[in-house]
Amino acid sequence: MHLELLQTGVELLVGFIALLVMLKLLGKATLSQITPFDFISALILGDLIGNAIYDEQARVGSILFSVGIWGTLIYTLEMITQKYRGTRKVLEGSPSIIVKDGQIVRKELKANKLDLDQLQHLLRRENVFSFREIQHAILETDGKVSVLKKSDYENPVSQDLQLPAKPVYLPITLISDGKVNWDNLQLAGYDESWLNKQLRSKNITTYSDVFFLEWKQDEGLYLEPM
């Protein structure tokens, strides 16, 4: 009996250390951004560890093997999404604009299986208690909502300072990891010729030299080179 308890304790310790090592290898983003794939991975990995620990036929080697195989699969997918930008939407999902220019985008709510009660719950977590406060809201891939408030409701509010209300614009990502988002470029109202001209003015000749390029109507371009 004491031997079985000792063996279970050793297996739990080994499983804990193996999971900790795997999370360290995968990076902090895995902890802070839980996508649907990450959630499924956590469930499966937990089930594998549980079965390995409490199965009388399983030993420490089974625990390490389970963690090693599943960790390798997750790490491989992380590498794929980092190297091949086109796979991110499939494997990680993409953010959805659910409030645009103060108007709720019902099509996006329906596509994400999100009703108004759930949306209000998510907004209250961001200290937003009325739709009238919102200029833009984005449903992130981890299920959280990011909110850009109207200028009248920012802190300190313009009304308190007796300042005229200013329009609020949503930043648009034009280049990410050296890849141009042509849909966003069109959404911003520009074309490839304009983009190339802007890059040349900053002594950049190829898109691959740009790590991140953002455009905002009232502030222009923000660029981070590779």
Q: What are the DSSP calls for the chain, one per residue? A: -HHHHHHHHHHHHHHHHHHHHHHHHH-THHHH---HHHHHHHHHHHHHHHHHHH-TT--HHHHHHHHHHHHHHHHHHHHHHHH-GGGHHHHH---EEEEETTEE-HHHHHHTT--HHHHHHHHHHTT---GGGEEEEEE-TTS-EEEEE-GGGSSSPHHHHTPPP------EEEEETTEE-HHHHHHTT--HHHHHHHHHTTT--SGGGEEEEEEETTTEEEEEE-
pLDDT higher than threshold 70 for residue 158? no
The whole-chain average pLDDT of the chain stands at: 77
Alpha-carbon gap, residue 80 to 98, rounded angstroms: 28
What's the token pair of residue 122? 């998510």
- Residue-wise pLDDT tens digits, 89-140: 666 667 889 999 988 888 988 888 888 788 888 888 888 888 888 999 998 8
Higher pLDDT, 82 or 32: 82
- Residue-wise pLDDT tens digits, 1-51: 566 666 666 666 666 666 666 655 655 444 445 555 666 666 666 666 666
pLDDT at 147: 92
pLDDT at 28: 46
